[in-house]
Structure 1
Amino acid sequence: MKPPASSRLFHTLRALQHENPLGLPRTGTIPRMQRGLPERRKIKDVAKVVAVSSAKGGVGKSTVAANLSLAFARQGHRAGILDTDIFGPSIPTLFNLSGEPRLSLNNQLLPMSNYGVKTMSMGYLVGEDAPVVWRGLMVMKALQQLLHEVEWGGLDVLVLDLPPGTGDTQLSITQQIVLDGSVIVTTPHTLAVKDAVKGINMFKKVNVPILGLVQNMTLFNCPHCHHDTAVFGSNDKVQRVCREHGIQVLGDIPLHPSIGDDGEQGKPTVVSEPDSSRSQAFMSIAAQIGKQIGL
């Protein structure tokens, strides 16, 4: 019998077991981890998977990931986004979604949708203000369930919003999932660019194709004098890094208050301002990514 919408998947942290941190009914389809590296496999019913990553927090990675998934949808693709940040999920806020996802007849999590994009996030499974106080093993098991126990129902492209850094979560995803490519998000700030290089080198080490780099919060156009200002410094550093590592700059996203405001209101720029130059920047980046991965 299909579980009722009101059934809770997440009662208390004490009730969770290490083998099943989300409390999902077991189907026996996911094998236990073997010694050594797991075999990479496709996410069921998903044609292409793109990871959006940043080695540094605060560069607008989740906002970029959300707008890219929406841009894919606007371009006619069946798109979804998976929030893999267990501790600080952003997708529920960005997509103005809340509540608990239902279970399918196959005991899989059913994504929640808005603006034509299917979404899944740990943020739906815990309270908005509730901290996830877990150690590494619990996090990895929860991540495994988010990756393999969601019924996407057929997607052309799934965007993975990775947490910042180059740690356990990033390595687990790159070792478990067949990724069609990765996108690095940075700002022109020197420290952010230095950390972006770490992200580039991480994906190279795990043999994941790097589709390119998105430079966020570039020029700020003053609404009064209409003068452009590079608030975080020149983009020469980003251009140099891309040349050194043989990757391309997919596009520049300006520093504009509307982008942040749109996200806070749960209606990202591609939806709220589809004809703006900011939205067109996201559309152009999505088109370039799609061409590279064969969408």
Structure 2
Amino acid sequence: MTDISKIEAVLDEVASGRFSGLRYADGRVSLVLNVSGLDVRDRGQIEIAVKGKLLALDGVDKADVVMTAEKIERRLIAVGSGKGGVGKSTLSTNLAIAMSAMGRKVGMVDADIYGPSQPRLLNCEGQRPEAEGKQLIPVPNEFGVPVLSMGHLAKPGQAIAWRGPMAGKALEQLIDAHWGETEELIVDMPPGTGDVQLSMMQNHKPVGAIIVSTPQDLALMDAVRAVDLFEQAKIPIIGMVENMAGYACPHCGEVSDPFGAGGAEAAAKTMGMAFLGRIPLDMEIRKSSDGGTPPAISDNGQGKAFHDIAKSVATWLDNQKPAA
């Protein structure tokens, strides 16, 4: 006949440290199983294993397993710009990879509903997310940054001709997905200051925003509008990044500034915000990003600038007071 010590011994084999509230009476075992940190598949497997082991015991006719998980309060970091073509998506990807390399539990939301690019940048094109109930399960990749994008849901090359409310609903599904242990979500925002941006800020309230701009005046004008939008929504600005800042000739090494120099840093100073750093205009960054091998996989060479920015962002996040 089975006793409680035998049941505990069996549970230690398959769920050591995860079970509590164990009870056994009249052939019935009940317990609470903590599945924090497990993805959907692993949760199902551990539940099957626990029930199988228990029901194999002499005298156990029924096994009731209640699964629970600690709720994780995720922080959203929006990466925005006032216009397209300034390298916002590339920064988002490399920022997420660099923060992950620091040991942070980071995920990526491709909120650019109409022009998704994260599947290409994170080398996971052609994969479709699975779902658990009404929740999507993020797509894994070799860089350890789970991601969700409309690029995983639409056919390649398909135009997403949706009005604002539909795009906002799609974004909600991406953010409210089954993110597991992910604690920080980098949100690659669409360019501009339209419906999708407003929906995200109103419904999900990022803890902070990063503004990306190239150095020239036209890009900075639009970046200022993006700053104003976040400030109206009372979302703190973490800082500004200057992209495509300086081009080193691969033949002679001479550095030129086809888009100007220092404009974003000067704008950040004028607006009283932090300047997070510069990303050079480098052919290797473009080629490696297009090829699905983001430069931030290394903290040397082209990846160093992204890692330096990631350290500044992480420091800002760690200095924020927890919500009351």
Whether TM-score is above 0.5 comes out as yes
Unaligned runs of 5+ residues in structure 2 are: 1-39, 42-70, 320-324
Find the partner of 1:128 among 122, 137, 156.
156
Aligned counterpart, 1:57: 84
Distance 1:160 1:46, change over 3 A: farther
Aligned counterpart, 2:307: 283
Return the alpha-carbon distance in structure 1 between the equivalents of residues 156 and 117 of structure 2. 10
Q: TM-score w.r.t. structure 2 length?
A: 0.74
Return the alpha-carbon distance in structure 1 between the equivalents of residues 171 and 251 of structure 2. 47
Aligned counterpart, 1:144: 172
Larger RCO: 1 or 2 (CA < 8 Å, sep 6+): 1
- Kindly report which structure 2 residues correspond to 1:189-208, keeping only aligned pairs within 5 A, or say none: 189-208=216-235
- Kindly report which structure 2 residues correspond to 1:106-255, keeping only aligned pairs within 5 A, or say none: 106-114=133-141, 115-148=143-176, 150-235=177-262, 237-255=263-281
Note the C-alpha offset of 1:189. 1.5
Q: TM-score w.r.t. structure 1 length?
A: 0.81
- Indicate the RMSD between aligned Cα atoms, in angstroms: 1.6
- Greater helix percent: which structure? 2
Q: Secondary structure at the match of 2:277?
A: strand
Return the alpha-carbon distance in structure 2 between the equivalents of residues 270 and 125 of structure 1. 26
Aligned counterpart, 1:101: 129
Q: What code does the residue aligned with 1:77 have?
A: R
Aligned counterpart, 2:293: 267
Q: Secondary structure at the match of 1:63?
A: helix
Which consecutive segments of 4 or more residues in structure 1 shift more than 4 A? Answer: none
Cα deviation, 1:19-45, whole Å, max 9, x if unaligned, reads xxxxxxxxxxxxxxxxxxxxxxxxx73
Cα deviation, 1:165-185, whole Å, max 9, x if unaligned, reads 011111111111131110000
Note the C-alpha offset of 1:46. 4.7
Would you say the 8 A contact 2:242–2:265 is kept in 1?
no
Return the alpha-carbon distance in structure 2 between the equivalents of residues 290 and 212 of structure 1. 12
2:116 is the counterpart of 1:89: yes
- Kindly report which structure 2 residues correspond to 1:4-43, keeping only aligned pairs within 5 A, or say none: none
Return the alpha-carbon distance in structure 1 between the equivalents of residues 165 and 269 of structure 2. 38
Aligned counterpart, 2:30: none
Unaligned runs of 5+ residues in structure 1 are: 4-43
Would you say the 8 A contact 1:81–1:118 is kept in 2?
yes
Return the alpha-carbon distance in structure 1 between the equivalents of residues 162 and 106 of structure 2. 30
Note the C-alpha offset of 1:54. 0.7
Q: What code does the residue aligned with 1:276 have?
A: N
Would you say the 8 A contact 1:46–1:154 is kept in 2?
no
- What is the aligned residue count? 249
Return the alpha-carbon distance in structure 1 between the equivalents of residues 134 and 233 of structure 2. 32
Distance 1:275 1:177, change over 3 A: closer
Would you say the 8 A contact 1:46–1:158 is kept in 2?
no
